[in-house]
Amino acid sequence: MKRLLLLTAIFLTACGPSQKEKEEIAIITCNIMGESRNMDGVVRIKEINTAREQIGEDRFLGSDDDIKNSVKYGLCNELVLNDPQYSEKYLEVITGIVDAKRKASEGAKERARIEKERRRVESEKREKVARIEKELAFLARAKNKERVKKLLAEGKKVTLHSNGQIEMIRMYKDGSLHGDVARFYKNGQLMFRAPYQNGGKDGVQENYDYDGNLTSKKCFKDGSEANIEKCKN
């Protein structure tokens, strides 16, 4: 009987701790290392090697950064237990984190793009409303509202005298005067009409008095006054 008990004890000792006991040792060790934030790196390495010795695994030969990363990414137990798939699990976790950050970044960029587009649309709406309100206020001042409305619809620039009569009618192309420019007196009579080409006078300018009588004609070529004969060709 004594011999049987001795053999049983030797057998149990040789078998070492059970898997459950190993896991408990790993949990305790990881809790100690995880909660002791100010623990020295040497102490952490000592803790993990003590645990490895208790569960019958090879000594840990990695760095303190490896231990801290295992705690950070929830793989401390696997590191203590010397899980043969630890590297694959670690890589899987890191890959997942990288993918999550990438998706978060892409999501943030998409949200930023949508917000930028929303602001652009809102800005255009505000500008359109402001432009319409300004045009309505402008038309309200005009004596000949229908004519002014038509000129504006044609893309012409119109200014008014203080009494609401049209003062000037201008047309632009690429930011420069282009086409006939007409100026009027406060009584509505035409003061002059001058043709423009790409910002310069080009053609015959007609001048009128306050009563609408033609008083003179002037010839312009490439922005400079020229002999009236040159405008007859």
In order, the DSSP letters of 157-221 are: EEEE-TTS-EEEEE-EETTEE-EEEEEE-TTS-EEEEEEEETTEE-EEEEEE-TTS-EEEEEEEE
Question: Are residues 137 and 147 part of one domain?
Answer: no
Is 1 a member of any domain?
no
Q: State the average pLDDT for the chain.
A: 88
Higher pLDDT, 39 or 4: 39
Q: Determine the pLDDT at residue 15.
A: 61
- pLDDT computed for residue 131 by the predictor: 86
Residue 35 within a domain: yes
231 — pLDDT class (breaks 50, 70, 90) = confident
Least confident of 35-39, 95-99, 126-130: 35-39
Average pLDDT, integer, range 199-216: 93
Place of tokens 């405008």: 231
Number of domains in the chain: 3
pTM above 0.85, yes or no: no
Rounded to 10 deg, the angle between the 41-55 and 64-72 helix axes is 80
Give the model's pLDDT for residue 54: 93
What is the pLDDT averaged over residues 2-13?
Answer: 41
The verdict on 50 and 104 lying in the same domain is no
* Residue 161 backbone zone (phi > 0: left; psi -120 to 50: alpha; other: beta): beta
Both structure tokens of 112: 């930023």
Question: What domain range is 40 assigned to?
Answer: 18-83
Q: Smallest Cα–Cα separation from 208: which of 229, 194, 228? A: 194
